[in-house]
Chain A
Amino acid sequence: MRSSIIQCQRLNHVYSGKAALSNVNFELDAGEPIGLVGPNGAGKTTLLSILSGFLRPTSGTVRLFGHPPGAAQLIGKISALPQDARLDPGFTLIEQLVFYARLQGLTKQQAILEANRVLQEVSLKEAVHEKPLVLSHGMAKRVAIAQALIGKPALILLDEPTAGLDPVNVRTVRAIIAEQSSEATFIISSHNLAELDRLCRQILLLENGMMQTEKISINEQQAATRFITLQMGPSPVQEVITKFKGIEGVLQVTNPQKNEFIVEYDPCLQPHMDQQLMRCINTHHWQYRQLSHGKTLEEKLFFKD
């Protein structure tokens, strides 16, 4: 049975007279990672800060597992990776993580084991006795993620977990989230749409402090029409569109970017559209780079029409 882990009703937050969040209403269930996207200043960090209990909303109600943010009942149940938060430079990583684990109710021995476990998860076992100032940006980010994993919380809020990381570290972070997502629900705020596309089944879009009315689901299995996105090599645009349109079941073909085509089709008329498209490409000796089912997240969010 699906259970609602977050409920926000008529949530508003005002900073110095400027509305950061306006009448935000949503409910989220436990499960697959949930993406939170929106342009700069849309209110993503404000929303995550309110959910984490770092910020009091100006008005409205928030419930996490039925409790207000910051409630004692939520200790150990939720954790957060706040944007740009840094550890205390005076203590080693292990000292701080053991302290955090002890605050969550672990005994000293359990806390030491848990701190070592989470540092191992983020491949930082060799840095346990280092102080935060000697860590690179990527390592500091991974430590911050490690603290969010302490005690296996049920809900993990990550604010820009991959911002400023190199591709290798991005991959590591993605692997951590993918691995842990069977045990915890992640809410991930990010500008990296490709990243969210890979990790999340559900997306929340914030614009100008307002939550878009419908949650965007990445799962299109129930939709009446479906999409295929094709990344092509250099190819004659008009000819490609014409030939694709000629395939039975194709409803529309668009060319939103250079060498990118989005094919909308009726799955009832043509259940194996991918194979038909490949056949067409092969017949005309065109080059293709990538074929993926569905639209990219960028297309879904910002180019709906």
Chain B
Amino acid sequence: MKPGFFNHLLLISHFELKRSFTTRKGLLSLVTFAVVWCVILVYPLRLVAELLLQEKDLMRYFNFFDFIGLGSIQQWHIPEFGVFWHFALLIFTMLSITVAADQTCSDRERGTLRFIVVRSSRDSVFFGRFAGVMVIQALLISATALSTLALVLYRDATLFASALTDLFVITVNLILAVLPFTAMMAALSAKVKSARQATVWAILIWTFLTGIISGFAYYLPVLSFFKFLVPGYQLSDLAQLSGWQTLQLAHVPLLQSFILLALGRWIMARQAL
């Protein structure tokens, strides 16, 4: 029996996971990420969380975090997760641009994609690669969230139940946050020749789109609606929220991803392989 779209999608995304977790290049990237994350966890994250705990009384009168624009950290009843939330929002969205840059471009340039496309549809390849990269990011996000949980439990094991809720909320939110960035890279990767080109274009498009829309919106405020099209548009608002409130903006990345994936699929269908 011939495998259908979802079967191909699973096979292709599974192959992407293999690329990240079993090949030398993939493992090297993972080890690098793990080392960097350990440093972040042990130093800035742990130290800021300790500072928040120790200076709780002092901050009633002078709030350093409000002063630097990170007052919302204190809304999280477990400070480690408050700090993690702010760090992770920035790190994972940036990381997404590099992790997801090479979804199809180098395989297309090498000709490898031809071996795959002759056995599956372009849609399966496009969405399969996207799903694979999303699962890899979800695993990285989960691993970092779990390491933060371990840090919390090391300090106070009684916080387990409430920490578990924070862990879940943050993990879901971060996955949603990287979704449009991954979709944008999927669309770019379907068009450009290399991962580096995809990254450069992502930065250029993101910067100019934000700048142009903001510029026009200054003179004609109704145009600020178009900011909605920019991936990560909601991140600054999202950083101010805590707990379950963070899911209030979930519709933004979902809609952005839908639009970007539709665009990417259209490009992929017309691209010469």
Contact = CB atoms under 8 A, between A and B. Distances in A.
A80 B118 contact: yes
B108 to A, nearest CB: 10
Contacts of A100: 115-116, 119
A54 interface: yes
A291 to B, nearest CB: 43
B2 A105 contact: yes
Contacts of A86: 110-112
B11 A102 contact: yes
Nearest to B23: A90
Interface stretch (A25-33, A69-77, A198-206, A248-256): A69-77
B272 interface: yes
Contacts of A34: none
Interface string A54-76: 11100000000000001011011
A209 interface: no
A103 interface: yes
Contacts of A79: 118-119
Contacts of B26: 90
Contacts of A78: 118
Contacts of A104: 2-3, 119
Contacts of B56: none
A170 B204 CA distance: 49
Interface string A37-58: 0000000000001001111100
A166 interface: no
B117 A56 contact: no
Contacts of B234: none
Contact of B3 (A73, A96, A105): A105
B119 A85 contact: no
Interface in B1-36: 1-4, 8, 11-12, 15, 18-19, 23-26
A185 interface: no
Contact of A90 (B19, B114, B121): B19
B262 to A, nearest CB: 19
B106 to A, nearest CB: 9
A88 B107 contact: yes
A136 B21 CA distance: 28
Given A76-B119, A82-B114, A55 B2 contact: no
A147 interface: yes
Contacts of A139: none
Contacts of B11: 99, 102-103
B115 A87 contact: yes
Could you tell me the dominant secondary structure of chain B's interface residues?
helix
Contact of B121 (A70, A87, A105): A70
B140 interface: no
Given A70-B121, A72-B121, A78-B118, A54 B2 contact: no
B72 interface: no
A52 B2 contact: no
A147 B273 contact: no
Q: Point out which of B2, B4, B119, B270 has the most chain A C-beta atoms below 10 A from its C-beta.
A: B119
A55 B119 contact: no
Contact of A84 (B1, B3, B111): B111
Given A84-B111, A85-B111, A103-B8, A54 B273 contact: yes
Contact of B25 (A82, A85, A90): A90
Interface string B235-266: 00000000000000000000000000000000
Contacts of A286: none
Nearest to A80: B118
Contacts of B111: 82, 84-86
B220 to A, nearest CB: 39
Given A76-B2, A99-B15, A105-B1, A52 B118 contact: yes
A88 B120 CA distance: 17
B86 interface: no
B107 A56 contact: no
Contacts of A73: 2
B227 interface: no
B193 interface: no
A78 B107 CA distance: 21
Interface string B101-113: 0000001001110
A73 B119 CA distance: 10
Interface string B68-104: 0000000000000000000000000000000000000
25 contacts: A49-B273, A54-B114, A54-B272, A54-B273, A72-B4, A72-B121, A79-B118, A79-B119, A80-B114, A85-B114, A85-B115, A86-B111, A86-B112, A88-B112, A90-B19, A90-B24, A90-B26, A91-B18, A95-B18, A99-B11, A103-B3, A103-B12, A103-B116, A104-B3, A147-B115
Given A52-B118, A72-B121, A88-B112, 10 more contacts: A49-B272, A49-B273, A70-B121, A80-B118, A85-B111, A91-B18, A100-B119, A103-B8, A104-B3, A104-B119
CB-based closest 9 A-B pairs? A85-B111, A103-B119, A54-B273, A90-B23, A82-B114, A105-B3, A55-B272, A105-B2, A85-B114
